[in-house]
Structure 1
Amino acid sequence: MHHSPSSFLCRSPKKRRSDLHPAMNRGLALALALAALVAVALAAPAEEKYTDKYDNVNLDEILSNERLFKKYLECLLADTDVHCTADGKELKKSIPDALTNDCAKCTNFQKNGSGKVIKHLRENKPADWQRLQAKYDPEDVYMTKFAENRKASS
């Protein structure tokens, strides 16, 4: 009997996944599960934070330099961004959201820095602090919550 080359190909036994050794099945399943987890982790958005682009700003310098301080204050109090630096614009844009969400999107530097700035303003520049509070927290809702959170974490 003469067989054509294609008849040998058709007769070759096919290995099914279930024919694999059980340990190989578990390994394959584990590899697929890990690949799926990695894909989900990579596809999930990172926790949304405010930009850390300006986290290297020297807060002590700004607070101790009257000219720099006034520039930021003018920016934060103005209705437009005309007098704002790039980092001042970013700060001004973030303040309302940070207040309403307990600084949930703040980096650690921003959280610590906001406490430092608030303390400095309340103790050393109360008139400027009152102007900022009148604009951003006129009903004292957020500062009350801020003070409670600071006490709880102390």
Structure 2
Amino acid sequence: MKTLVFFLCLVLAVLADEKYETINEDFDVAQVLENERLLNSYAKCLLNKGPCTPEVKKVKDKLPEALETHCAKCTDRQKAMGKQLAQEVQKRYPDLWKELVALYDPEGKYQDAFKEFLAN
């Protein structure tokens, strides 16, 4: 479950020295949630079912590290946006969420960290 959190918070990020560098500070979380085509495009990339934009490819490449480190290099803004997106995707697109979790956390080893992330 934590997978999508990191995907969505890292949509804005690329790896920098200490933190993931923000690509677009004006990223509109609501726009992604309201634009099913855009959301599906991002998801297809992450699920290896479609092409990736350069920005989403960067996210996909950083996803394993972000999961392992519990988003240690994410900025506070990235974490907040990721939390908002994760909560909404879980609620509005549960099938998509299940697919992402199945691919990126098949053993469920990030479940506890994810619950803690959403609780804070």
Q: TM-score, normalised by structure 1?
A: 0.61
AA at the equivalent of 2:96: D
Secondary structure in 2 matching 1:51:
strand
Runs of 4+ in 1 over 4 A off after TM superposition: none
Within-5 A mapping of 1:33-112:
48-78=18-48, 83-112=51-80
Conserved 8 A contact 1:77-1:135: yes
Instruction: State, as a whole percentage, how many aligned pairs show the same letter.
Output: 36
Q: 2:94 aligns to what?
A: 126
Structure-2 separation of matches of 1:150 and 1:61: 21
3-state SS of paired residue (1:141): coil
Quote the offset at 1:56 in angstroms.
3.0
Structure 1 gaps of 5+ residues are: 1-45
**Alignment RMSD, CA only?**
1.9
Moved more, 56-65 or 121-130: 56-65
Deviation at 1:47, TM superposition (A): 5.8
Give the TM-score normalised by structure 2. Answer: 0.77
Deviates more, 1:94-103 or 1:123-132: 94-103
RCO comparison, higher one (Cα < 8 Å, 6+) = 2
114-123 vs 129-138, which deviates more? Answer: 114-123
Shift of 1:54: 3.5
Q: What's the offset of the Cα at 1:55?
A: 4.0
Aligned equivalent of 1:137: 105
Structure with max Cα Rg: 1
Q: Distance in 1 between matches of 2:109 and 2:34?
A: 28
Displacement of 1:85 in angstroms is 1.2
